[in-house]
Structure 1
Amino acid sequence: MFDALSLPVVVGLFAAAGLTIAVLGVRLTSLADRLGDRTGLGEAVVGGVLLGLATSLSGTVVSVTAALDGRASLAFSNAVGGIAAQTAFLALADLLYRRVNMEHAAAELASVVQAALLSLLLAVALLAVTGPDIAVLGIHPASLALVILYVLGTRATARVRQRPMWHPEQTRDTRTDTPEESPEESTGARGGIAPLLAQFLGLALVLGAAGWLISKTGGRMSDMLGVSETAVGALLTAVTTSLPELITTLAAVRRGALQLALGGIIGGNTFDVLFLSASDVAYRDGSLYHAVGLGDLFWLVIGLTMTAVLLLGLIVRERRGIAGIGFESVGVLGLYALGIAVQAVR
């Protein structure tokens, strides 16, 4: 169907899908914040799991659709490129929050655990790419390992928030997660959890449909323009499908929901690693991890390095650094700029 379309039409459809993804992100932020208050789970957990999953849905569909079409590089680079882009969004949010370094103010143990989990998942993916070419029914064992680690890590994150073994030092700049409404206050006819959850799921499904369109038009643009699938995946589809994360992060920071902003990005990135598992299942020509090139592997390493820098920033909690932001934000932006520069000269 898309093979018969002209380049302007393909670009127009791509832009329309991207705009749809961007607009819905604002509404998802508000719903996730309210769900965090009403369920009592808090911004970091809800942001990291529910919001991260929903805003990542369009990216999931892009990678799976690309894998089904046999576009291994597009599927892989869309996933790992999105992780790099979304981590860079945190640095932009840090620039917006001028009071103090955002990672200092948004101190939350759950976010530290999620960042460590994300580093582990990316390391497992790196092991799969650089290890032996193994596949059972066309699926690499690492894909199953990623799912298991994600489930166990998510449970550990919720448990840590409920019963932390240590607490971040409270300073005058620390912003705590104070619910705007308690679960008891939301049990009335208008304040139940079910209506909010139904709205949330409905918007997430629309994001998934937009993601399918992004994948089809993105792959078509790669063919028509002669641009590598790695470049399209890492810098075009990944950034476009990550627009909800950008919008939700900036909107959450403006509302003072710093844990939601931080948890949404890290949790979304953690869920994005599962794009690789889903894409490996959808890719029927063997292991996805061994069908990609060095360019795709480069973006995986960039994402892993950016996450490690962010994790250090969450632990050190520098109050203020260069340009009023922490060293981790400076490092993250520098690494992302490096990734773009390397991609441009390939």
Structure 2
Amino acid sequence: MSLFNPDSWTLLQGLGVFGLCALVIALAGTRITRVVDQLADQTGIGEAAAGAVLLGASTSLGGSVLSVTAAWNGHAELAVSNALGGIAVQTFFLVLSDLAYPRANLEHAAASVPNMMQNALLISLLALVLLTIYLPDATLWHIHPSTPLLFAFYAYGLWLVRGAQHFPQWHPDITRDTRQDQPDDISQMPSLARLWKEFALLMLVLGIAGWVLEPAATVIAARAGISHTVVGVMLTAISTSIPELVTSIAAVRRGALTLAVGGIIGGNAFDVLFIAASDIAYRPGSIYHAISADSAFWIALTLLMSGVLIMGLIRRERRGIARIGVEGVAILLLYLGGVSVLLLG
């Protein structure tokens, strides 16, 4: 047996490699949140934009590399379910982060127009993926036309988010529980060059961990006799999303509430691009038309969870059931219900 040949791994070896990669992703992802928060202050881009772009993309890198690697190896279901499962579990993590902030409902305290715009972008991207399943299976160089459209839509959405950050057309009411973006003392931070170097190094670590995680996940699915959908939604999606949970709770405890919410929502929007990138890597044809009914179910579920979340961000219930509000409880129940359907179906 060779440790460098996944085909020779036993189930125990696959689980060992999987656990090691998940640990690396958790540690690197935890560190990168502090770096992104400091970059937001030094560059002046703001916590919402930093959370949506820098934190969302960096903490999602492990999952994106895993999905692309899975698609390249012909495992379309693992690639798609990893992306969709990541969006669902990260939205669920936002509820857990809410529990770490006892003063008020996180959706109330972290009121931000860019975060709502980012969530609207997520819903639009997911709807486009779902629509593509029912469009003709036509490709150019094995790439479906929806793939470049997803990238273009995402870029346009980021431009809108930036506009909402700098030139908002309306503002949420500021209450005593609202926490706005307050920059830290820049003089106490490392230099901007050092922060960018550390950010790049941590992204490299996350990317390598995601690349190694894919063969471990494939081995687990094969040796344990479970579907790639279950592995993608329950194992790879959760393990590669650990940074979002850790960084979101850490940001909440540090008082960076806008960064916490923006990191989750921004990461979710970026995760949809996993599917677009996977379509490029998937050589048999359109990956959208290789999506199973189980994965289509998770698209619909994540759309519903995202819709509930944006209603919560607009309604801004100050306190509610279990300190997370009606929308938070609904998201929690939707996710746990989806997991139950997946495991029992």
Q: Is the 8 A contact 2:116 2:313 kept in 1?
A: yes
Residue of structure 2 equivalent to 1:117? 121
Q: Where does residue 31 of structure 1 map in the other structure?
A: 35
| Superposed displacement of residue 136, structure 1 | 1.5
Give secondary structure in 2 for the equivalent of 1:133: coil
- 2:340 pairs with 1:337: no
Q: Distance in 2 between matches of 1:241 and 1:284?
A: 24
Question: What's 1:240 paired with?
Answer: 239
209-218 or 129-138: bigger deviation: 129-138
Report the Cα distance in structure 2 between the residues aligned to 1:326 and 1:149, rounded to whole angstroms: 32
Kindly provide the CA deviation profile for residues 136-178 of structure 1, in whole angstroms up to 9, marking residues without a partner as x.
Answer: 2111111111100111111111121111111011011100111
Preserved CA contact (<8 Å) 2:251 2:257:
yes
Which string of whole-angstrom CA distances, capped at 9 and with x for unpartnered residues, describes residues 27-64 of structure 1? 11100100000111111110110010100100001100
> Unpaired runs of 5+ in structure 1?
none
Q: Tell me which residue corresponds to 2:155.
A: 151
Q: Is the 2:71–2:279 contact (alpha carbons within 8 Å) kept by the matching residues of 1?
A: yes
* Structure 1 runs (4+) greater than 6 angstroms displaced: none
Q: Would you say how many aligned residue pairs link Structure 1 and Structure 2?
A: 341
- CA separation in 2, counterparts of 1:110 and 1:88? 20
- 1:129, distance to aligned residue in structure 2 (A): 1.4
Q: How far apart are the structure 2 equivalents of 1:231 and 1:141?
A: 28
| Cα distance in structure 2, aligned partners of 1:138 and 1:296 | 21
The amino acid of 1:286's aligned partner reads G
Q: TM-score, normalised by structure 1?
A: 0.97
Task: Within 5 Å, give how 1:195-344 maps onto structure 2.
Answer: 195-344=194-343
Q: Which amino acid aligns with 2:30?
A: V
> 2 CA distance for matches of 1:128 and 1:193?
42
Partner of 1:179: 183
d(CA) in 1 for partners of 2:185, 2:159: 24
Q: Which moved more, 1:191-200 or 1:202-211?
A: 191-200
Which AA in structure 2 matches 1:108? S
For residues 70-121 of structure 1, what are the alpha-carbon distances to aligned partners after superposition, in whole Å with 9 as ceiling and x for unaligned? Answer: 0000000000110000000000011111111001000011100000000000
Contact 2:56 2:267 in 1 (8 A): yes
Q: Is the 8 A contact 2:71 2:278 kept in 1?
A: yes
AA of the residue aligned to 1:90: L
CA distance in 1, matches of 2:57, 2:324: 28
Say which is worse superposed, 128-137 or 266-275, in terms of deviation: 128-137
Structure 1 residue 160 corresponds to structure 2 residue 164: yes
1:126 corresponds to which residue? 130
Which residue among 45, 50, 55 is the counterpart of 1:46? 50
Conserved 8 A contact 1:38-1:181:
no
- For the residue of structure 1 that corresponds to 2:60, the secondary structure is helix
Equivalent position SS for 1:285: coil
Shift of 1:67: 0.3
Deviation at 1:181, TM superposition (A): 2.9
- How far is 1:132 from its partner? 2.1
Distance 1:139 1:233 in 2: 23
Amino acid at match of 2:283: R
Query: Following the alignment from structure 1 to structure 2, what is the Cα–Cα distance between the partners of residues 241 and 164?
Result: 33
Shift of 1:191: 4.3
Q: Distance in 2 between matches of 1:14 and 1:51?
A: 23
Contact 1:108/1:259 (8 A) holds in 2: yes
Asked if 1 retains the 8 angstrom alpha-carbon contact of 2:98 and 2:324, the reply is yes
Correspondence for 1:75: 79
Cα distance, 1:192 vs. partner? 3.0
1: CA distance between counterparts of 2:135 and 2:335? 26
Q: Residue 62 in 1 paired to residue 61 in 2?
A: no
Shift in Å, 1:220: 1.1
Aligned residue identity for 1:129:
I
CA contact 1:81–1:300 (8 Å) conserved in 2: no
> Percent sequence identity over matched residues?
50
Counterpart Cα distance in 1 of 2:190 and 2:66? 35
Is 1:193 the counterpart of 2:197 in the alignment?
A: no
* Cα distance in structure 2, aligned partners of 1:124 and 1:222: 29
Question: Quick one: distance in 2 between partners of 1:220 and 1:67?
Answer: 15
Aligned amino acid, residue 143 of structure 1: T
Aligned equivalents of 1:302 and 1:134: distance in 2? 26
State whether residues 10 and 223 of structure 2, in contact with CA within 8 Å, keep that contact through their aligned partners in structure 1.
no
